[in-house]
Amino acid sequence: MPVFAYRGLAPNGRSINGVIDADSPRSARGKLRELGIFPTELSPEQATAKTAPAQGWLPGFGRRIPATELALLTRQLSALLGAGVQLVDALGALADQTSRAVSKRILSQVRESVREGSSLADALAAHPETFSDLYVGMVRAGETAGALEAVLNRLAEYSERQSEFLSKVRGALTYPIIMMCVGVLIMGFLVSYVVPQVATIFEEQHAALPLMTRVLIGLSDLLAGHWFEILLLVVALIAGIAFGLSTSAGRRIYDAWLLRTPYVGPTVLRVICARFARTLATLLESGVQLLPSLSAVKRVVSNGLLADALEQSRESIREGHGMGQTLERSGLFPPLLVEMVKVGERSGDLEQMLERVADNYEREVEASLRQMTTVLEPLMTLVMAAMILFMMLAVLLPIFQLNQLMQ
């Protein structure tokens, strides 16, 4: 259905703006008058059209609410419902107070769908770029159980914890990546621009050059004379890797290799298990049954092997087996997670056990990342220092030799 942006006057005389779904401008004006709004401006919403070229390359770009803002809006919606505000009015208040155009548009569309009789879950499901299956499923469970406010609170807490956890992971990896990129750029500049000028001086003297200097000049000549071929090779390599990862067989090989990689594999496994345990616990606490919860959780597990193991576990549970037993049979999940799931199933307190597992793995990941950055920072500094020392010696040694010859 088309979307129209409007400006108008509310019944109290206050200026108001927003968006509304309607079949035509005339229908949109009629809807606004029914709401007591006198429209002064009405135009087709252009946000989606303007971002269409970018969406071809970046799916969802310009069409989704950022995760941090979504968590805040979810908590605000829960607070408004807890204060006795009707759902349509609460969604309207959120749409009015947000300054981001995409957030205002999506919230206004959700409000209009709810006003027309749709459930909140169905209205959210119409915007899969912003609201995941997990989000929609929890809201649907909350509406069914009559506990929407509590479910929204859990969703907000879950979103905030996930955003904080991912921010810590990105923050720990940012500095080493920046150092590596800066080092590569500096070395590339020195080898491609500075070294050729120094090499010209040495060639004019017809002096025998040290091995280090010959290696450096050879590397500089290679980059200067074949930079286009090297660039094509790098692009082809990246394209080949991307194509391989886009296939199911290539992705499976990559996932298996990643889990077997020393140090990185166990850290990635802890990250995935933390997200799995936290998400499953949140769904179960919200009243979603185990089998639908596992189906939703499978979408947040980024490793294909673990996702397949969860699907097999789901089928085994359907046949009457316990989840801990089926996870253990896969041989992929850590013993701690398996044992805590078994304890939770025996005690009937699976949600709490999963929360503890998630807390434990998140702490382990943070400690692992701190240790990794503690080692990487001085290691990368030493590598860069060694590269600079090599270049200095390769340039200075011939100068010392020429100085001795001149004396």
pLDDT for the residue 61: 42
Residue type at 164 in one-letter notation: E
Same-domain check for residues 360 and 269: yes
* pLDDT for residue 237: 93
In whole angstroms, what is the distance from residue 284 CA to residue 350 CA?
A: 8
Q: Does 238 reside within a domain? A: no
- What SS3 state is found at 17? strand
Question: pTM for the full model?
Answer: 0.61
Task: Report the number of distinct structural domains present in the chain.
Answer: 3
The Cβ of residue 261 has, within 10 Å, a number of other Cβ atoms equal to 11
Tell me if 206 is assigned to some domain: no
Q: Classify residue 351: in a domain, yes or no.
A: yes
Q: Is the dihedral of CA 298, 303, 306, 307 positive or negative?
A: positive
What was the pLDDT predicted at 232?
93
Q: What CA–CA distance (Å, rounded) separates 161 from 63?
A: 23
Helix (H, G, I), strand (E, B) or coil at 18: strand
Residue 371, domain member (yes or no)? no
Tell how strand 38-44 and strand 15-21 pair up. Answer: unpaired
Kindly state whether residues 39 and 92 are assigned to the same domain: no
Between CA 42 and CA 45 the distance in angstroms is: 9
Give the pLDDT of residue 238: 92
Both 23 and 92 in one domain: the answer is: no
Q: How far is residue 88 CA from its own chain's centroid?
A: 30
Please return the burial class of 12, using the count of CB atoms within 10 Å of its CB with bins 0-12, 13-18 and 19+: exposed
Alpha helices (H) in 261-320, listed in sequence order: 264-285, 290-297, 304-318
Q: Residue 229 contacts by C-beta under 8 Å, 6 or more apart in sequence? A: none
Would you state the pLDDT for residue 233?
93
Q: Domain with 139 in it: what CATH number?
A: 1.20.81.30
In single-letter form, the type of residue at position 206 comes to: H
Examine the domain organization and report whether 333 and 277 are in the same domain: yes
Q: In terms of Cα–Cα distance, which of 47, 70, 216, 242 is closest to 156?
A: 70
Residue 83 lies in a domain: yes
The DSSP call for residue 117 is: T
Q: H or E stretch including 16?
A: strand 15-21
Query: What does the pLDDT profile of the chain (407 residues) look like in tens digits?
Result: 566 777 777 777 777 777 676 667 777 778 777 777 877 887 776 444 344 344 443 444 446 788 788 888 888 888 888 888 888 888 888 887 887 778 888 888 888 888 888 888 888 888 888 887 778 877 877 777 677 887 788 778 777 877 777 777 777 777 777 877 887 787 777 777 777 777 777 666 666 777 887 887 787 778 777 778 888 999 999 999 889 888 888 888 988 888 888 888 888 888 888 888 887 887 787 777 888 888 777 777 778 888 888 888 888 888 888 888 888 888 888 888 888 988 988 888 888 898 898 889 888 888 887 787 777 778 878 887 888 788 778 777 777 776 665 55
pLDDT at 406: 59
8 Å CB contact between 305 and 260: no
Per-residue HEC secondary structure of 176-214 comes to HHHHHHHHHHHHHHHHHHHHHHHHHHHHHHCCCCCHHHH
Q: Are residues 30 and 89 in the same domain?
A: no
Looking at the fold, whether 98 and 11 belong to one and the same domain comes out as no
Write the CB contacts of 186 (distance below 8 Å, at least 6 apart in sequence).
Answer: none
Examine residue 171 and state whether it is found in any structural domain, yes or no: no
CA dihedral (181, 183, 185, 191) positive or negative: negative
Dist. CA 355–CA 281, nearest whole Å: 6
Same domain? For 301 and 335 the reply is yes
Structural domain containing residue 17: 3-45
Beta-bridge partners for 3: 21
Residues 94 and 138 in one domain: yes
CA dist., res. 327 & res. 89, Å (int):
45
CA distance from start to end of the chain: 87
End position of a domain, from candidates 364, 379, 400: 364
Q: What was the pLDDT predicted at 48?
A: 41
Distance CA 304, CA 251 (A): 7
What is the pLDDT, as a whole number, of residue 50?
Answer: 40
What confidence score (pLDDT) does residue 21 get? Answer: 65
**Token pair for 329:** 């049979």
In a domain, 24, yes or no: yes
What is the radius of gyration, based on Cα positions, of the chain?
29
Closest to 321 in 3D by CA, of 398, 7, 202, 330: 330
In a domain, 257, yes or no: no
Query: Are the CB atoms for 267 and 302 separated by under 8 Å?
Result: no
d(CA 270, CA 277): 10
